[in-house]
Structure 1
Amino acid sequence: MSELFFKHFELTRNNLLKTVAALDESIVDIKPEGFNNTLHWHVGHVLTVAEQFMFGYPKKSAHLPANYLELFGNGTKPAHWQGDVPSVQELSAQLVEQLKRIKEIPAESFSEKLKTPFLGQETFGELANFGIFHETLHLGQILAMKRVVQAAVTK
């Protein structure tokens, strides 16, 4: 199970990184009509939620700054951002580093039962696979939002 997970996670993450690298910096903080957030927020959100799912952030992981939950956690939005906000480039570098750490997770971890099931996921492996779903969902949002923002900017 873990070998397939790592393969799918790496595929998804590399597609996300490729998409993010191709974003024009001038559009990453534009919130298009009909969307709740920006491209910048989505990149930080994917990083933050993956850290939560895979490493128990913020209680069990100190790899991301504590304020990432306030910036990119569920229910947050750029309109409420205060203080230092990492750039998309910084977030991308953290996504690369995080992928390396994910690929080092021991295979036996995937069969461990969660203390509390999360959205029907009962084992760490199920939660990890849900993380791929979550990341792919946001990759789709990023691709759609990029097209909407680019169309609005070129009018």
Structure 2
Amino acid sequence: MEQTIFQHMQVVRGITEKSIQQIPEELADIVPTGFTNNIRWNFGHIAYIQEKLVFGVTGEKMILPEEYEVFFSAGTKPADWIGTPPTLVEISGELIAQKQRIGDSLPGNLQKRLPEPFTNRSGITFHTIGETFLFSFYHEALHMESIKRIYRAIKN
């Protein structure tokens, strides 16, 4: 079963990687009417939350640049940004590197208990690395849908 989970990660992240490579940089920062965030924020948020759900909640060092928390953590938005966020190419590189780190470090550890239970902003409590990792697929898909909706709004 574990092999299937990691294959699924490859599929989900592959969709994200393909999508980020197709978005022109000049569209990444547009926040259409009715939206709070832009395409860049959503891709950066996917990377940041994945890092937190796989490494941060276990107490391991998060490898993403510290600026990802400032720009892309839950509750942030581009209207509040001070400074220049990473480019789509930089975010893409982090997503690819992150997938490799997860593939290198997580196999065999999905049943490992977290140092303490982690409750997300939706009130869901997780007890194992596998639980947070599996939830991250759902989270990534939600934000990919947001990216698609923002892109359609920009194009219309």
Same fold, judged at TM 0.5 (above): yes
Paired position in structure 1 for 2:117: 116
Structure 1 residue 65: Cα displacement: 1.6
Unaligned 5+ residue runs, structure 2? none
Asked if 2 retains the 8 angstrom alpha-carbon contact of 1:41 and 1:72, the reply is yes
CA distance in structure 2 between the partners assigned to 1:42 and 1:12 by the alignment: 15
Asked if 2 retains the 8 angstrom alpha-carbon contact of 1:48 and 1:69, the reply is yes
CA distance in structure 2 between the partners assigned to 1:83 and 1:65 by the alignment: 14
Paired position in structure 2 for 1:107: 107
CA distance in structure 2 between the partners assigned to 1:120 and 1:82 by the alignment: 32
CA distance in structure 2 between the partners assigned to 1:9 and 1:35 by the alignment: 28
Unaligned 5+ residue runs, structure 1? none
State the identity as a percent. 31
Structure 1 residue 22: Cα displacement: 0.8
Report the CA distance shift for 1:81/1:117 in structure 2 as closer, same or farther (over 3 A): closer
What RMSD, in angstroms, separates the aligned Cα atoms of the two structures?
A: 1.5
Taking the TM superposition and a 5 Å limit, the aligned residue runs for 1:3-18 are 3-18=3-18
Q: Does 1:135 align with 2:140?
A: yes
Structure 1 residue 30: Cα displacement: 0.2
Structure 1 residue 68: Cα displacement: 1.3
Deviation readout 1:118-142 (Å, 9 max, x if unpaired): 3132211111000011001111111
Report the CA distance shift for 1:127/1:62 in structure 2 as closer, same or farther (over 3 A): closer
CA distance in structure 2 between the partners assigned to 1:84 and 1:60 by the alignment: 27
CA distance in structure 2 between the partners assigned to 1:93 and 1:117 by the alignment: 28
Name the TM-score, length of structure 2 as normaliser: 0.89
Deviates most, 106-115 or 126-135: 106-115
Paired position in structure 1 for 2:60: 60
CA distance in structure 1 between the partners assigned to 2:35 and 2:84 by the alignment: 23
CA distance in structure 2 between the partners assigned to 1:111 and 1:40 by the alignment: 33
